[in-house]
Chain A
């Protein structure tokens, strides 16, 4: 277990997985001719899928940390949140460049911009770019921790936009929507449920503490009066 946690927490592990996914699904198929009859479309779709799953992974990490505060595996994976988030943005940018190439030039690109599913994709990717460029210590200091955190909550907005982008892009491909949206939503709900009940319990114990304090103080007061 210790070894596993050590491996999972290592930077090299994160780098290997995040780059490895691209090598496995994009580079190797491209160089072995396994992209099929419409290779650029395959790269376009694969890069988009990698980007959205990577974003899904990073969004799953913070609720997991709340839900399993004692899990060392979750803690180890949480160390890589910044790297995973930036990687999602890089695959998103790759996806966008494949889109430009697929449309084959300026005219096609401009024409594609008339369609809502492209707006959602572009808006989501813009957010990811902003978040990736502010994913460094300097930005956190410059913005202040509170503002920075607020800004990076936009990741959830990006996820919503991009899942919708993906859902309406094709002809009846709901699989990713199902397998990404529902588990992520379930994790968030569970996180909120837990923090809510924890807060309630804290409030309750605080109130009880207060009451006992008041009772104690009145008791001592009456005792001293006597």
Chain B
């Protein structure tokens, strides 16, 4: 009997997929092209936007002077990505056993004038290419990293989508693939993973969509091929492996908040003065610090107070945690 392939809604048809031989020769093509005009720095913006086109240097506004970057090895081996299991080393092991994150389509929809379904490389071209930013990353479990992300500001995608005036929130939906994903076969969490921001938060210059880190495409365990990064909030807000971004009028349901609303707030802003009910948030363990490094004090809004505090003016951060 012939096997009938039923595509998932986000899959692009196989006729649109670049034949593997062409795909495998893309670097060769780029190299030839690069030699032709003496170096990649001179490539036009659209070429730099391809997945091979990562920037050489950090955006100077987001350099985090004097802060030590977490090693690439740590960033790619210590992950909370419960789709692949609860242990920190499981995502690295289990998400690289044939899970395909390329090709991948992202659906942008909801209350906006310009909805679309788009491949990641095409999207990168449309928003004008990739930049690098060093961001602090603070997990709700009281550990932290500093990560050199490659990607683009979320605001650029929002400009592209042109949300309607009644859109007040942005909802992020991660992939759903229980066949591939051992974690999604259990009901410990309601799948797919969803997160949300207010539209004002999403428009903030810090809100970022990452497609790579350390100058390489995102590894599967880090949320390939595209993930949210909101560095002033606890890490669980930064949903991974996005398939959908919707503009909505009401506050969307978000995974951890649904599961335990008294422990994980919708805002989930990093705040050393508001403890998690079960553990302290006053300090954090820096990954890569060694046995005797102890913990360092956690900063309000994870050190991004200047950029984001105005978003919460007049709010009681103990109540709206």
Which chain A residues have a beta carbon within 8 Å of chain B's beta carbons?
36-41, 101-105, 108, 111-112, 114-117, 168-175
Contacts and interface: CB of A to CB of B under 8 A. Distances in A.
Contacts of B278: 115-117, 168-169
Contacts of A170: 141
Contact of B285 (A41, A116, A171): A41
Most buried by A among B77, B86, B141, B279: B279
Nearest to B141: A171
Given A36-B88, A38-B78, A172-B189, A114 B280 contact: yes
A116 B275 CA distance: 12
A108 B141 contact: no
B177 interface: no
B35 interface: no
A102 B285 contact: yes
B141 A38 contact: no
Given A37-B73, A38-B78, A108 B294 contact: yes
Interface in B63-101: 71, 73-74, 77-78, 80, 82, 86, 88-89
A104 B280 contact: no
A111 B141 CA distance: 15
Interface in B253-274: 259
Nearest to B286: A38
Interface residues of B, number: 30
Nearest to A102: B285
Contacts of B283: 108, 111
B292 A101 contact: yes
Contacts of B291: 39-40, 101
Contacts of B294: 103-105, 108
A38 B188 contact: no
B258 to A, nearest CB: 12
Contacts of B282: 111
Interface in B275-298: 275, 278-280, 282-283, 285, 287-288, 291-295
B143 interface: yes
A105 B296 CA distance: 11
A36 B292 contact: no
A38 B279 contact: no
B230 interface: no
B83 to A, nearest CB: 13
Contacts of A174: 188
B259 to A, nearest CB: 7
B88 A115 contact: no
B279 A115 contact: yes
Contacts of B86: 172-173, 175
B272 to A, nearest CB: 11
Nearest to A40: B291
Contacts of A36: 77-78, 88-89
Pairs of residues from A and B, 9 with the lowest C-beta to C-beta distance, nearest first:
A104-B294, A37-B78, A37-B74, A104-B295, A111-B280, A37-B287, A40-B291, A37-B77, A108-B295
Nearest to B74: A37
Contact of A112 (B71, B82, B280): B280
Contact of B295 (A37, A103, A116, A117): A103
B140 interface: yes
A175 B90 CA distance: 15
Interface in B116-144: 140-141, 143
Contacts of A115: 275, 278-280
A37 B77 CA distance: 7
A75 B292 CA distance: 45
Contact of B279 (A39, A104, A117): A117
Contacts of A171: 80, 140-141
A37 B141 CA distance: 15
B259 A172 contact: yes
A37 B285 CA distance: 11
B68 to A, nearest CB: 14
A105 B282 CA distance: 14
A105 to B, nearest CB: 6
A169 B74 CA distance: 23
A102 B285 CA distance: 8
Contacts of A111: 280, 282-283
Contacts of B77: 36-37
Given A112-B280, A115-B278, 13 more contacts: A36-B78, A37-B74, A38-B143, A38-B285, A41-B143, A41-B285, A111-B283, A114-B275, A116-B278, A170-B141, A172-B82, A172-B86, A175-B86
Contacts of A103: 294-295
Nearest to A98: B291
A116 B73 CA distance: 34
A38 to B, nearest CB: 6
Nearest to B88: A36
B287 A38 contact: yes
A174 B260 CA distance: 14
A41 B286 CA distance: 11
A39 B77 CA distance: 12
Most buried by A among B74, B275, B295: B295
